């Protein structure tokens, strides 16, 4: 069983959803991202997604775009992304990289997969990669023992859900709404229906992302999903709070309490 498989087996046994946090590597600095992610883990986050900054983000909202721009201005590199994931994995926490496909392909599929696996990484989320074009990546990820995570959306047909889940490992990333990332006052109503539809075609855990920013929202999503993914809310704390390390820790603790109370 993979590290992600072990995580979801544990959270299911505990009768709760997992809390997954996202933050771009290199934001606010390379060392700062490591500090923030490790603080989130200490406060109750179960797994992390380390973002690989890309100059042409297709699904990133304005908050994460600002973080990515900062990371790029800081000169963050792909090895920095891998080392950031490794620093989290060293705590025993599953660490994934979330990246558009082009930077991974440019770095080298086998090289990226083997280096990430070498530091203890668990998987890779590729939001813009379709199963039909994923053959080379699936081969590289499989050889390295990484879980390849793909996305589904409310617009996905049943046939599409089957195609995506057939090649997915670790968990299915269910986008709660159509559109870009960003905290919202409420999570899309179609999220619960999407999770139900996904569960009809796979036994994989289903995690919901895009929009969750409060403990109340986390508790709501935890009622029906196996995992709750939070990104923009953490980025916002770093962008707007002077003592951002304390602030992200407090947010992580609040979200963890929401997830644990929402099962």
Residue 234 belongs to domain spanning? 3-261
Number of separate domains in the chain:
1
Looking up residue 91, the CATH number of its domain turns out to be 3.20.20.70
Residue 127 structure tokens: 């939001």
- Tell me the average pLDDT across 157-165: 98
Least confident of 121-125, 190-194, 209-213: 209-213
Cβ neighbour number for residue 208 with a 10 Å cutoff: 31
CA angle 164, 116, 82 (to 5 degrees): 110
Taking CA atoms, 121 is separated from 125, 147, 169, 188, in Å, by: 12, 9, 14, 30
Q: Is 60 exceeded by the pLDDT of residue 263? A: no
With bands split at pLDDT 50, 70 and 90, how would you rate the model's confidence at 97?
very high
**Measured CA distances, 177 to 156, 193, 241 (Å):** 11, 11, 28
pLDDT value of position 249: 98
Place of tokens 């709750």: 228
| DSSP β-ladder status, 123-125 and 95-98 | parallel
Measured in whole angstroms, the distance separating CA 60 from the mean position of its chain's CA atoms is 13
Q: Annotated active-site positions, please?
A: 49, 60
Report the 10 Å Cβ neighbour count for 178: 11
Q: Mean pLDDT score of the chain, rounded to an integer?
A: 93
Q: Which residues of 38-62 are buried (b: 16+ CB within 10 A; e: fewer)?
A: bbbbebbbbbbbbbbbbeebeebbe
pLDDT at 259 (0 to 100) = 95
Judged against a pLDDT cut of 90, whether residue 150 lies above it is answered with yes
């Amino acid at each position: 069983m993979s590290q992600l498989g072990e995580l979801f087996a544990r959270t299911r046994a505990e009768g709760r959803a997992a809390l997954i946090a996202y933050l771009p590597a290199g934001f606010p600095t390379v060392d700062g991202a490591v500090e923030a992610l490790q603080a989130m883990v200490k406060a109750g986050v179960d797994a992390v997604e380390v973002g690989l900054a890309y100059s042409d983000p297709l699904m990133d909202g304005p908050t994460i775009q600002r973080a990515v721009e900062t990371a790029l201005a800081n000169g963050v590199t792909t090895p920095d992304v891998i080392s950031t994931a490794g620093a989290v994995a060293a705590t025993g926490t599953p660490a994934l990289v979330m990246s558009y496909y082009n930077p991974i392909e440019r770095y080298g599929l086998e090289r990226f997969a083997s280096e990430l696996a070498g530091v203890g990484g668990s998987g890779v989320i590729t939001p813009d990669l379709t199963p039909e074009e994923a053959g080379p990546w699936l081969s590289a990820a499989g050889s390295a023992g990484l879980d390849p995570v793909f996305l589904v959306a409310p617009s996905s047909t049943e046939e599409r859900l089957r195609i995506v889940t057939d090649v997915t490992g670790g968990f299915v990333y269910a986008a709660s709404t159509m559109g870009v990332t960003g905290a919202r006052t409420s999570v899309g109503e179609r999220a619960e229906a999407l999770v139900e539809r996904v569960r009809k075609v796979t036994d994989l855990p289903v995690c919901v992302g895009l929009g969750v920013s409060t403990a109340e929202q986390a508790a709501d999503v935890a009622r029906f999903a196996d995992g709750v993914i939070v990104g923009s809310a953490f980025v916002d704390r770093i962008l707007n709070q002077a003592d951002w390390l304390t602030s992200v820790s407090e947010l992580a603790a609040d979200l963890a309490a929401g997830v644990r109370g929402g099962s």
